[in-house]
Structure 1
Amino acid sequence: MKFKIYSLIAAGTIALALSSCKKDFLDQTPITQVGPDVAFADAAAAEKLIQGAYDGMYNDFHIWDYMTNGDVRSDNAYAGGDNPANIQLDLFTVNSTNGNVGRDWNALYSDIKNCNLIITNISNIQDPKLDVGDRRKQILAEASILRAYMYFNLVRTWGSVPLVVKVPTTDAEFYPAKASVDAIYAQIIADLEYGAANARVAGPTKGIMTKGVANALLAKVYASKPTPDWNKVNMYCDAVIGGGYSLISNYDFLWDSNHKNNSEAIWEMQYDGYGGLHGNWMPSVLVGTGWKRFNTPTNSLAKAFDDAGDAIRKASSIKFNNVVSEGWNDSYWSKTSYPYINKYRADDKSDNYILRLADIILLKAEAVNELSTSGWSTAAPLVNQIRSRVNLDATPAADQASMRLAIENERRLELAFEGHRWFDLLRTNRVIPVMNAQVDGTGANLNYNLTASKLYFPIPQDELDKNPNVR
């Protein structure tokens, strides 16, 4: 079959992710044409393939852009720096040639391709070792959860996108049309349900896709669908909360690099420093001297912390420095007290908390509040559990409407710079009024002029050029 270069599915190979596989596998055959006799020969190869899927995630999207997409597009951060692609995201002027848009699309579909290779082919492996302890099902579950996570990011960021769930073999499969948002969510849920039923309760690290990860993602998915299912959100939050996780006592321990893989982490990227297999370069672009850093905290977020009397989470989230001697200017902040993100500090070793328990507790509070006009009274103890850790008084919210806004604000302060804020505002239909009301430090409106047409990324131009079916 003529091999077609198609960036969405077949661009490149799994070479970096499978560096431990046979050299001839990497050098001789395009990945879409690898047969079971080469890459899928035995249980050891299956383990390398699932490890390759995990290793493939150490790309710009998972290291860096997930936070830019969730916080710079929201009221939590300005673009900072001088990167035109980030500035377009901040000002809602993104077009199809934006570099971030293209690299995120390619990264997520590359991750999906790696998962599809496993899901499509693992049943063909005849090695009985794979069926010891249900390992075959566990690998399939992990790949399914990973694939669901990638599609969850795609559908929340782009809306309707191609839905590719197997290794392509025909022209039509190489150039798929976009699927409906409902169809994508249905596939995400099916993958996560399989994962919840068949994944391990715990892996060797918090970087493994487990039942807890599947349940947490299911809760978030049901809250993010066009029509949320709050009963399902509540059910899956309960599954996570009862799954053996617990809040750690000190909020700052989450970010000090001395408490990795702690009891609060449901899923955590595993970085081991520049001298190891996976170094995290994100902190170096957030804080430092010599040039203007990216993702600057907003006046709005700093004020929200102050208005709440939330000194603990503010100190953990934002660090102020005197940068008067630096040779650059800023439109939003005085350089005598200039803010930097403080949650990622250890330069080459920081962990990204992709999923943690506090997120799920607050999501459960949201669910019970939405399920009943009196649900605010059930939500209050959950919100207060999060507030008490940072020495804040009980929430004053005393009805459904005020609790809805209280939870929104609590999620903002608790989860700042973790990639959630934009998607919280988007799923609750609050993003347009919130963003269009944004002001700078002097009270002047920032004039974002956000409209419904700007809520989702455009399809990358390179993809439009190669696949006319996504137009």
Structure 2
Amino acid sequence: MKSFVNRFSLIALTVFSACQSFLDVKPLESISDDQTIVDKATAETAVRGVYSALGSSNYYGTGFQSIGYLSGDNIQWTGSQSQVQEFINHRVNAENSTIAGAWTAIYQTINRANNVIDKVPGVTDPTLTQALKDQYVGEARFIRALAYFDLARTWGGVPLILKPTLSPTENSGIPRSTQAETYAQVLADLDAAETLLPATTDRYRATRKTVWALKARYYLYQKDWVKAEEFATKLLDDATNYGLLKPYSAFFANDARGTRESVFELFYNGTTEVNSHRGQWQPQTNGGTRQWAPNDALVALLNDPAVGGNRSVLVAKDNQNRWYGTLYYRNPASDPSFVLRIAEQYLIRAEARAQRNRLTDALGDLNAIRDRAGLTASTAATQSALLQAIEDERRVEFALEPHRWFDLVRTGRAAAVLGITDANRLLLPVPVDQLLVDKALQQNPGY
């Protein structure tokens, strides 16, 4: 039953010995059982635990993100583990350890969020004001929305677990919801979070603005072009707090973090919390393993002055003349994981406008990204040409971030670009260990 417990059980860690300032970016500890969220301090710590789970090594720390870019056409695997090559070959097996780890990590994140959502409103500590309760629950609702969004776009419909799990048998027998029902839960959580959270700017914690950014992405995936444009515009109109930085590397190079480019990023301190991405990308001479690296096609694109522009800084050569990625480079490994960037909002709005045949406005958004990269303006003159230009721009703009695979799937372009002839392969298999312990779960077709 170990896998079942990992999927739905509570993860109990040590509570801070002293109350920390909630808005400080500190190591994120967690508490989990119904006896520990009893006052303001433990409520704060429980919320920190939700963020900690979100940034864990199998979720946004490395595992889940690797699914997004290894499955695209930008990255090559340089190691010997065949289970990683499965993503590049688009022949992922249900026994794959990466998908097992990601599934478990996402449900652990959901369970921690469920505890905050369920327990915080009932706390009677007078120092835990209603405004703080709303904020904490809103943050948990946002993170739960992100978690179900990631589950839906990776696996399709999944079991919807909306209450804390206190024993390993509680959720046995819950069938998978449909993908549409899972996405509906995402929107319900985002709508709730939007009403609960303050409209402040915080690049490490969810606020109403963070909700708007994820809503823009959500509506893009739903092909609701009007809503996608509406919510992207809310961020892009806030020029006081958000904007593209020049050159491209300014949002991550020279130990930068929390810049105006960032809408939501995950903090790692490099000691008690480490972003394991660095070790996978950096070469041996820099203390990494270079287990994955930019492939020849991506290197050519980034180094083409007419395509990559100043985004060529995303790749470099090691002492053996081999290319490696530079987005994760800090030692110790304190690189942020970038979940939502303002550049994505520009390209979301560009795509939404192009889909509505508002070509001039769409070109303006696309060319803002190109200008920041040191490129001339796009000359795309038709809707189809402009949509292709936006797709191409997303490929290089987010070259080492987990967008390419999901972009090709949501636009129906995976067959043409990646040569995937079996449509069943556009969703990943449910991990086999989950199927073995819960007979209510059904495998995705084709696996």
Deviates more, 1:65-74 or 1:211-220: 65-74
The answer for the alignment partner of 1:287 in structure 2 is: 282
Tell me the distance in 2 between the aligned counterparts of 1:371 and 1:118: 40
The answer for the alignment partner of 1:342 in structure 2 is: 326
The answer for the alignment partner of 2:399 in structure 1 is: 416
Given that residues 194 and 208 in structure 2 are in contact (C-alpha distance below 8 angstroms), is that contact kept between their aligned partners in structure 1? yes
The answer for the alignment partner of 2:211 in structure 1 is: 214
> What is the letter of the counterpart of residue 400 of structure 1?
Q
- Which residue of 69, 73, 76 maps to 1:75? 73
> 1:12-411 counterparts in 2 under 5 A?
13-16=10-13, 18-20=14-16, 34-35=33-34, 38-60=35-57, 61-132=59-130, 134-168=131-165, 173-202=171-200, 206-225=203-222, 228-243=223-238, 244-274=241-271, 277-289=272-284, 293-307=290-304, 309-323=306-320, 337-347=321-331, 348-372=333-357, 375-411=358-394
User: Could you say if the C-alpha distance between residues 221 and 210 of structure 1 is closer, same or farther in structure 2, counting changes exceeding 3 Å?
Assistant: same
Residues 11-31 of structure 1, C-alpha deviation per residue, up to 9 Å, x if partnerless? 3x3223x54389xxxxxxxx9
Given that residues 219 and 237 in structure 1 are in contact (C-alpha distance below 8 angstroms), is that contact kept between their aligned partners in structure 2? yes
Question: Scaled by the length of structure 1, what TM-score is found?
Answer: 0.84
Given that residues 7 and 463 in structure 1 are in contact (C-alpha distance below 8 angstroms), is that contact kept between their aligned partners in structure 2? no
Tell me the distance in 1 between the aligned counterparts of 2:199 and 2:37: 26
Tell me the distance in 2 between the aligned counterparts of 1:114 and 1:142: 12
Residues 152-208 of structure 1, C-alpha deviation per residue, up to 9 Å, x if partnerless? 1111111111111112479563431100111111110111112122213336x5210
Tell me the distance in 2 between the aligned counterparts of 1:196 and 1:308: 41
> What is the letter of the counterpart of residue 288 of structure 1?
P
Residues 328-363 of structure 1, C-alpha deviation per residue, up to 9 Å, x if partnerless? xxxxxxxxx421111111131212211110011111
Tell me the distance in 1 between the aligned counterparts of 2:191 and 2:174: 25
Deviates more, 1:144-153 or 1:169-178: 169-178
Question: Scaled by the length of structure 2, what TM-score is found?
Answer: 0.89
User: Could you say if the C-alpha distance between residues 178 and 42 of structure 1 is closer, same or farther in structure 2, counting changes exceeding 3 Å?
Assistant: same
The answer for the alignment partner of 1:457 in structure 2 is: 428
Tell me the distance in 1 between the aligned counterparts of 2:390 and 2:170: 45
Tell me the distance in 2 between the aligned counterparts of 1:312 and 1:346: 24
Superposition deviation, residue 456 in structure 1: 1.4
Given that residues 96 and 460 in structure 1 are in contact (C-alpha distance below 8 angstroms), is that contact kept between their aligned partners in structure 2? yes
Given that residues 279 and 349 in structure 1 are in contact (C-alpha distance below 8 angstroms), is that contact kept between their aligned partners in structure 2? yes
Given that residues 70 and 423 in structure 1 are in contact (C-alpha distance below 8 angstroms), is that contact kept between their aligned partners in structure 2? yes
Given that residues 122 and 136 in structure 1 are in contact (C-alpha distance below 8 angstroms), is that contact kept between their aligned partners in structure 2? yes
Deviates more, 1:161-170 or 1:73-82: 161-170
What is the RMSD computed on CA atoms of the aligned residues?
A: 2.3
The answer for the alignment partner of 2:27 in structure 1 is: none
Superposition deviation, residue 65 in structure 1: 2.1
Deviates more, 1:111-120 or 1:310-319: 310-319
Tell me the distance in 1 between the aligned counterparts of 2:3 and 2:374: 56
* Equivalent position SS for 2:77: strand
Superposition deviation, residue 131 in structure 1: 2.3
Tell me the distance in 2 between the aligned counterparts of 1:313 and 1:105: 36
Superposition deviation, residue 124 in structure 1: 1.6
Report which of the two structures shows the higher radius of gyration computed on alpha carbons. Answer: 1
Residues 279-321 of structure 1, C-alpha deviation per residue, up to 9 Å, x if partnerless? 2232122112278622221222223335562454442211123
Given that residues 245 and 265 in structure 1 are in contact (C-alpha distance below 8 angstroms), is that contact kept between their aligned partners in structure 2? yes
> What is the letter of the counterpart of residue 284 of structure 1?
G
Superposition deviation, residue 457 in structure 1: 1.3
* Equivalent position SS for 1:173: coil
Tell me the distance in 1 between the aligned counterparts of 2:7 and 2:292: 31
Tell me the distance in 1 between the aligned counterparts of 2:166 and 2:56: 26
Identical residues among aligned pairs (%) = 27
Tell me the distance in 1 between the aligned counterparts of 2:246 and 2:257: 14
Tell me the distance in 2 between the aligned counterparts of 1:172 and 1:99: 25
Superposition deviation, residue 322 in structure 1: 4.5
- Which residue of 413, 418, 423 maps to 1:430? 413
Superposition deviation, residue 86 in structure 1: 1.0
Given that residues 200 and 210 in structure 1 are in contact (C-alpha distance below 8 angstroms), is that contact kept between their aligned partners in structure 2? yes
Which ranges of structure 2 fall in alignment gaps of 5 or more residues?
19-30, 443-447
Superposition deviation, residue 403 in structure 1: 0.3
